[in-house]
Amino acid sequence: MNARHFDHLIERWRAVFAGLPDPRTGDHCFYSIVDIALSALAVFFTQCPSFLSFQQNMEKAHGRNNARSLFGVQRIPCDNHIRQTLDPVAAAELFGLFDDLHKAFAQTGLLEAMRAGQNTRLIALDATWYFSSQSKNIHCENCSCIRHAEGQTTHYHSAITPVIVSPGHAQVVPQDGQAKQDCEINAAKRWLAAHAGRYSTGNDTLLGDDIYAHQPFCRQALLHHFHFLFTCKPSSHPHLYGWVNALKPGRALHTLKRRVKGKSNRWEHHHYRWANHVPLTDSDAALKVNWCELTVTDGQGKVRYRNGYITDWEIHAQNVSGLVAAGRARWKIENENNHVLKTKGYHLEHNFGHGKKHLASLLLTLNLLAFAWHTLLEVTDPSYRLVRAAVGARRKFFQHLEALTAYWYFENWERLLDFMMRGQEVGPYAARKS
């Protein structure tokens, strides 16, 4: 993605922002709704809370600023005006932008390359909190709440954050999420109902932890033409495990042993067990599922890992290891998505503004869009990839971005990356030095 593509994406998002509901009238419309939304997006893209104030200072001193040159903001509003104007805007108004990014990822070939065994695409589901407060003054009509025995009340927001993952790829591809105002499973059901038709390719597998491995949600996944592969624990599924352990080994209960090298380059023993068509619950109407388990031991026989899964995929010796690898890829939604958003520069749990209606969820959506945008740049822009690799930690990259855009003016995205490559002596500048 070169500067032209970067600018094309900005123009596409500008058109979406122009259609946002705007109840302001008269003097309150000095700043356009487009400038307000683009300004908020710029803050999340740079992950610099002071980005707009830096650009206002640059404009006063030099008559130009990076908010205009990079993001197309004509007039820079203050933070409070952004919060007040965007508060009535529902996050769903921006969900179409995820479709744009999804199409862009598809055009790169990444989504096809990320398909796992069975040629299936893996979509991991998980919920995460992005706001919490025990203050009586900071909450809104869309907050969920927990009433504690001590009398305190915690108001919070959380959301389902689906991402496409793959055992063999470092990237995760975020999809638009779903607010979790009651429970994670109900939010996941709403996501299925709202987005199954948009994102389904006919061969997609939902990944999830143990709370998804219950009969109603498995049936919902099948109803929407998804496969499923969910973690399944003995403690929460005693009937299923009792049934499996009663099966006769070698006939209905199958095993496979492999000796493989682990991450530390040491030999491990992988012991697989699986059984097909076992009842998920203790009822006459129980859904029949296929179950598998992996136990990893080291050279001394110590158990290093054990986990079980249920799926609708028929399991056999040729695909059991691939299915388990796909199931284990679910951790990427926590490590490569939620953990990154919270601790690696995106400050997911920081209160950028709560508002009285939709502000918290709208700002979360802009943050997720920024994260997806950076992921797309990492895949498509060689200059961006070189800079990110040279700088190292994601948080450090944002620190460089903040410092540079605070003190230097760049005509466009390409000039900014060129400056960073020159400073890091990578790309064409590494060749010149040698």
pLDDT in tens, 279-320: 999 999 999 999 999 999 998 889 999 999 999 999 999 999
pLDDT of 349 over the 70 cut: no
187 or 182, greater pLDDT = 187
17 or 365, greater pLDDT = 17
Please give the structure tokens belonging to residue 329.
């890829």
pLDDT of 268 over the 90 cut: yes
Q: Residue 401: what pLDDT?
A: 96
**Which amino acid, 171?**
Q
**Which amino acid, 82?**
I
d(CA 96, CA 379): 21
Report the pLDDT averaged over residues 121-129.
85
d(CA 55, CA 413): 16
382 or 150, greater pLDDT = 382
Q: Are 407 and 418 in contact (CB under 8 A)?
A: no
Mean pLDDT (the chain, rounded): 88
d(CA 396, CA 79): 24
pLDDT of 172 over the 70 cut: no
Q: Are 346 and 117 in contact (CB under 8 A)?
A: no
Q: Find, among 346, 401, 365, the residue nearest to 86 by Cα.
A: 365
Q: How many CB atoms lie within 10 A of CB 269?
A: 15
**In this predicted model, what pLDDT tens digit does every residue of 23-40 receive, in sequence order?**
888 777 899 999 999 999
Q: Are 133 and 349 in contact (CB under 8 A)?
A: no
Q: Are 311 and 229 in contact (CB under 8 A)?
A: yes
Instruction: Kindly give the pairing relationship between strand 173-174 and strand 153-160.
Output: unpaired
Rounded to two decimals, the pTM is 0.85
Report the pLDDT averaged over residues 119-132.
84
Cβ neighbors of 139 (< 8 A, separation 6 or more) are 133, 145, 155, 354
pLDDT of 257 over the 90 cut: yes
d(CA 53, CA 33): 18
d(CA 234, CA 241): 6
Q: Residue 227: what pLDDT?
A: 97
pLDDT of 350 over the 60 cut: no
pLDDT band at 93 (very low <50, low <70, confident <90, very high): very high
Cβ neighbors of 280 (< 8 A, separation 6 or more) are 213, 214, 215, 218, 237, 240, 286, 287, 288, 289, 310
Can you give the chain as a three-state secondary structure string? CCHHHHHHHHHHHHHHHHCCCCCCCHHHHCCCHHHHHHHHHHHHHHCCCCHHHHHHHHHHHHCCCHHHHHHCCCCCCCHHHHHHHHCCCCHHHHHHHHHHHHHHHHHHCHHHHCCCHHHCEEEECCEEEEEEECCCCCCCCCCEEEECCCCCEEEEEEEECCEEECCCCCCCEECCCEECCCCHHHHHHHHHHHHHHHHCCCCEEEEECHHHCCHHHHHHHHHCCCEEEEECCCCCCHHHHHHHHHCCECCCEEEEEEEEECCCCCEEEEEEEEEEEEECCCCCCCCEEEEEEEEEECCCCCEEEEEEEEECCCCCCCCHHHHHHHHHCCHHHHHHHHHHHHHCCCCCCCCCCCCCCCHHHHHHHHHHHHHHHHHHHHHHCHHHHHHHHHHCCHHHHHHHHHHHHHHCCCCCHHHHHHHHHHHHCCCHHHHHHC
d(CA 192, CA 199): 10
Q: How many CB atoms lie within 10 A of CB 51?
A: 23
Q: Residue 345: what pLDDT?
A: 52
Residue identified by tokens 């487009």 is 34
Question: What structural domains and CATH numbers belong to the chain?
Answer: 3-86+381-433 (no CATH), 210-329 (3.90.350.10)
108 or 143, greater pLDDT = 108
CA atoms within 13 A on the CB side of 407: 7
**In this predicted model, what pLDDT tens digit does every residue of 144-165 receive, in sequence order?**
788 888 878 888 777 777 888 8
d(CA 328, CA 231): 9
Q: Residue 336: what pLDDT?
A: 54
Q: Find, among 311, 294, 312, 291, the residue nearest to 244 by Cα.
A: 291
Q: Residue 238: what pLDDT?
A: 96
Rg, Å, the chain Cα set: 24
Please give the structure tokens belonging to residue 289.
């599922």
Q: Residue 3: what pLDDT?
A: 58
Q: How many CB atoms lie within 10 A of CB 400?
A: 15
CA 103 to chain centre: 16
Q: Residue 177: what pLDDT?
A: 59
